[in-house]
Amino acid sequence: MKPSEFAVNEMTTRASSFYDDVDAYASAGVAAIGVVRHKIADIGAPAARARLDDHGLHASSLGITGFFAVATGAERTSRLDDARRAIEEAAELGAPVLAVVVGPSREVGYEHAVEATRDALSSLRDDARGAGIRLAIEPLHPMFAAELSFVCTLPDALDLVAPLDGRTFGIVFDTFHLSWSPRLPAELAHAKDRVALVHLADWPTELRSRDHRAVPGAGTIEWAPLLAILGDVAAAAAFEFEVIGDEGRGDRELLAACRTAYAELPWELA
């Protein structure tokens, strides 16, 4: 099933400002934007919402908050305060999903990191539910484990949110970060109704750096079977193109390539 709208995450054009992104995305026929928090920090969410409205766009998500795993004392309080601000920002933008990156576990161990993160998320439940925002844990490829996330697989992410309210807590499925698993079809079968957001990017045929992504269809991922499964388990989620690190093209050329991929990916097989 082809997504009803063409959506792009601002990390695709990460060197550009929010204002430049809105102009370029509107010109490229983008309908929805995954907004990045640091790009709107200086203008605030209400002004960003007005800018989107003026260009006929809307926010499909906001990212990121988190890093609860090793936070204690004052730092934990600060992290939770930031998450509550992010929830408010998402509501002001009209973004239904707030992406969460959990942080590393190397200082405290995996089990403690899971417990601390679940506890932090539970304390945010009423804030998120009251604002109508779904918090979505984003598992990252294992090469990011030491710095960004102890949640590196789809089963890890599903296990983390399993005891939590499914209406308020879900996951981000990023094709770059998760499509490497040889057990992915079976893993995705357990993710129905938990996938709140999908990020689309291909694994390059030659990975120049860990931040390098390819436009979907230009790399090594087998899209037809993957989209067939995602069309079932993530039917209600936004599908955002998030093609980070393709510095060889200008923003408008890259957005045009994403637009072509949106039109040509084998959605009809899903």
Give the integer Cα–Cα distance in Å for 50 and 68: 31
pTM for the whole structure: 0.97
Give the integer Cα–Cα distance in Å for 35 and 21: 10
Average the pLDDT over 20-47 and give the result.
98
What 3-state class would DSSP assign to 196? Answer: strand
pLDDT tens-digit readout, 69-104: 888 899 999 999 999 999 999 999 999 999 999 999
The answer as to whether 165 is a domain residue is: yes
**If you count them, how many residues does the chain have?**
270
Which DSSP letter does residue 4 get? S
**Beta partners for residue 69, in sequence order:** none
CATH of the domain at 262: 3.20.20.150
Please give the tally of structural domains in the chain: 1
The answer as to whether 242 is a domain residue is: yes
User: Which of 71-80, 191-200, 201-210, 239-248 tops mean pLDDT?
Assistant: 191-200
Other residues' Cβ atoms within 10 Å of the Cβ of residue 66: 25
Q: What is the dihedral of CA 66, 71, 73, 77, to 10 degrees?
A: -10
Backbone torsions φ then ψ of 53, nearest 5 degrees: -60, -40
Range of the domain at 23: 7-269
CA atoms within 13 A on the CB side of 250: 5
